[in-house]
Amino acid sequence: MLPASACRIQDLDANGGAAIGREALSEPRRGWTRAEAQALYDLPFPDLIFQAQGIHRRNFDPNRVETASLLSIKTGGCPEDCGYCSQSAKYDTGVKATKLMDHDAVVATAQRARDAGAERFCMAAAWRNPKDKDLDKVCDMVSAVKGLGMETCVTLGMLTSAQAKRLHDAGLDFYNHNVDTSPEFYGNIITTRTMQDRIDTLAHAREAGLKVCCGGIIGMGEQVDDRLGMLALLANLPEHPESVPINMWSEVKGVPVSGSAERPDPIALVRMIAVARIMMPRSVVRLSAGRQYMTDELQALCFVAGANSIFIGDVLLTTKNPQTERDADLLERLGINSALDEARPDGLGHAARMTPARGAAAS
């Protein structure tokens, strides 16, 4: 259980520095208010980044980014009405519904992703909730992917406690279930399941011993206050999610959000990443969907602000993602280590070049 209040924003000095207990700022805490989140968000940009980077350094290798790969194992035809999603059966988006993928095809894709430098393999199915016969198949996939030496994550919609337990027993590491947005804005986006349904599924995953991947989406027409409300919701869960994906909405024609969406100001995105890093100091913050819209410079700023995970691969479910070569090139130029670097066929990635050969004489 996290301490209810290890530090308060009032403890920050006039320059945004921690007036007391710098170490306390590294401790996960709950009881965050939206006003505290707003106070952080409103700090002068250099002070905010300084805070976030300091906390990042105390909890993670600041020069490493985690790599994950995401595969849609069952696409489209979803009965939910998430207003941003190309896979909802309620909207005419041109996405064709498919059946659950074949086991061997999923495992082969995971193996290719691993060989290309993915540490975690995430499998997504467009369901309201899995049927037990489908869950049997997903459990087999999880066990096989785990056997490849990868971390495993699935996102299958709402789960019962018993289903969460079965996934855990199959070797699943993470369950992804996003809160998507603030409680206030939620009803503008989804009506077929409640925020409480989501919180219940997260609780079932936790009770089963699974780690939680939970974040949301920006750029759907929400206000900054909604984004901060979402971060406060995440930071006040009984335990902080181990992974916090921050998605920028990827344009999809034919969904309700396309009428009100506005791409966030890049600086606003960096501020949000920094606030997430400060509020959830030990969570991995993933710069998720929407990177195809981001310049290299914006992504670099996000990494400095505390983002330390990306999805690699050309496609994220049904939308585009930067190509793996572009990611490898960017991380190389930034001197950031990742499994992408280590997967280079010539073995001469950044990490290898920066590490002196064993036995090399110091001069």
The 10 Å CB-count burial string (b at 16+, else e) for 260-285 is ebeebebeebbbbbbbbbbbbbebbb
Would residue 302 show up in a list of annotated catalytic residues for this protein? no
Backbone angles phi, psi at 83, to 5 degrees: -70, -5
8 Å CB contact between 324 and 340: yes
Closer residue to ligand SF4 in complex, CB, 321/337: 321
Backbone angles phi, psi at 335, to 5 degrees: 70, 25
Which one of the listed residues 213, 214, 271, 277 is annotated catalytic? 213
Closer residue to ligand SF4 in complex, CB, 201/299: 201
Contacts of 147 (CB under 8 A, 6+ apart): none
Would residue 128 show up in a list of annotated catalytic residues for this protein? no
3-state secondary structure of 156: coil
Closer residue to ligand SF4 in complex, CB, 87/283: 87
- Give the number of other CB atoms < 10 A from CB of residue 61: 11
**Min separation Cβ 80 and ligand SF4, Å:** 4
333 burial (CB, 10 Å; 0-12 / 13-18 / 19+) is exposed
Binding site for ligand SF4 (CB under 6 A): 78, 80, 82, 85, 87-88, 126, 157
Backbone angles phi, psi at 37, to 5 degrees: -60, -40
**Min separation Cβ 166 and ligand SF4, Å:** 20
**Min separation Cβ 186 and ligand SF4, Å:** 12
Would residue 82 show up in a list of annotated catalytic residues for this protein? yes
Closer residue to ligand SF4 in complex, CB, 157/215: 157
Which one of the listed residues 7, 85, 214, 302 is annotated catalytic? 85
Which one of the listed residues 78, 139, 214, 302 is annotated catalytic? 78
Beta-bridge partner residues of 124: 72, 155
Residue 232 CA to residue 39 CA, distance in Å, equals 12
Which one of the listed residues 82, 139, 214, 302 is annotated catalytic? 82
Closer residue to ligand SF4 in complex, CB, 85/331: 85
Would residue 139 show up in a list of annotated catalytic residues for this protein? no
Which one of the listed residues 29, 114, 122, 271 is annotated catalytic? 122
**Min separation Cβ 130 and ligand SF4, Å:** 12
Residue 333 CA to residue 126 CA, distance in Å, equals 37
Taking Cα atoms as reference points, which of 2, 39, 7, 4 lies closest to residue 20? 7
**Min separation Cβ 184 and ligand SF4, Å:** 19
Single-letter code of the amino acid located at 229:
G
**Min separation Cβ 232 and ligand SF4, Å:** 22
Closer residue to ligand SF4 in complex, CB, 85/150: 85
Closer residue to ligand SF4 in complex, CB, 197/342: 197
Helices (H), the chain: 34-41, 45-59, 103-116, 132-146, 161-169, 183-189, 195-207, 224-235, 266-279, 296-305, 324-334, 339-342, 350-354
Would residue 153 show up in a list of annotated catalytic residues for this protein? yes
**Min separation Cβ 180 and ligand SF4, Å:** 8
Could you give the count of Cα atoms lying within 13 Å of 81 in the half-sphere of its Cβ? 11
Which one of the listed residues 120, 166, 286, 291 is annotated catalytic? 286
What residues are labeled active site? 78, 82, 85, 122, 153, 213, 286
